[in-house]
Amino acid sequence: MTQRKVRGVSSRISRVARSDPWAAHGPTRSARFRLAAEAGLLSQRLDDDVLGAVALTSGMVKLWGKSARWDDLRSDRPAQQADYFRYVDTRLRRFEPDSGGSSRVPLTGARRLLKGVLDSVGRISTVYPYIADDGFGGAFAEWKAGAQRIELAVDDKLAAHVSVSHSGDTTWFLEFDAAEGMPFEDRQRLRQLLDKHSALVSLLNPHWLRVFVG
């Protein structure tokens, strides 16, 4: 898709936002369907960088910038806010031996180092990853949306890697020492990828948080 077409899609999304009196808080149901259709087309036609740029245009940001759950605003129910850092900590503690999930037991080994990396690249509103133990003393986190997959893992030897793929093809792979942390430039790159990922997921499914909190 050409840059001209990308600008056209962004312009249409902005017009949808302005067309609804609730635009400051979120689009109407019909507008959300239209936006999802637009985003679905984009995800089929754009590479990761261009898709991310479109997902972060000012028109889209207006749609979800006020609340993670638009229907909560419309029905006066209290919004359930995302807390990425708390989720990461709670989830990793499930795999800490003999901790029982208690926050008073410190994380150790790969789980402690994975938490450090995850905390360094996320924001409180970052869409949650799937986090699990690899069964061999390591742990990993994975984000998926459409054809894109982002994985961050630390093994039992405390070697870490980040892998980004699209439609099965690896677009970025980096190995690093988890104890030393991810290099600054690579950390910034991963944070930007997660920003784009979170923006797209929030557009396609504003209720994504329900998957994790039931």
pTM of this structure:
0.65
Nearest Cα residue to 113 out of 161, 163, 184, 173: 161
Summarised one tens digit per residue, pLDDT across range 155-211 is 999 999 999 999 999 999 999 999 999 999 999 999 999 999 999 898 888 889 988
- pLDDT higher for 42 or 152? 152
Judge contact between 196 and 48, C-beta under 8 A.
yes
**Amino acid identity of 40?**
G
Mean pLDDT over 16-27 rounds to 42
Rounded (10°) angle between helices 184-204 and 29-45: 130
The DSSP output letter for 82 is -
Could you give the CA distance from residue 54 to residue 72 in angstroms, rounded to a whole number? 26
Summarised one tens digit per residue, pLDDT across range 61-109 is 444 444 333 333 333 333 457 899 999 999 999 888 876 666 677 889 9
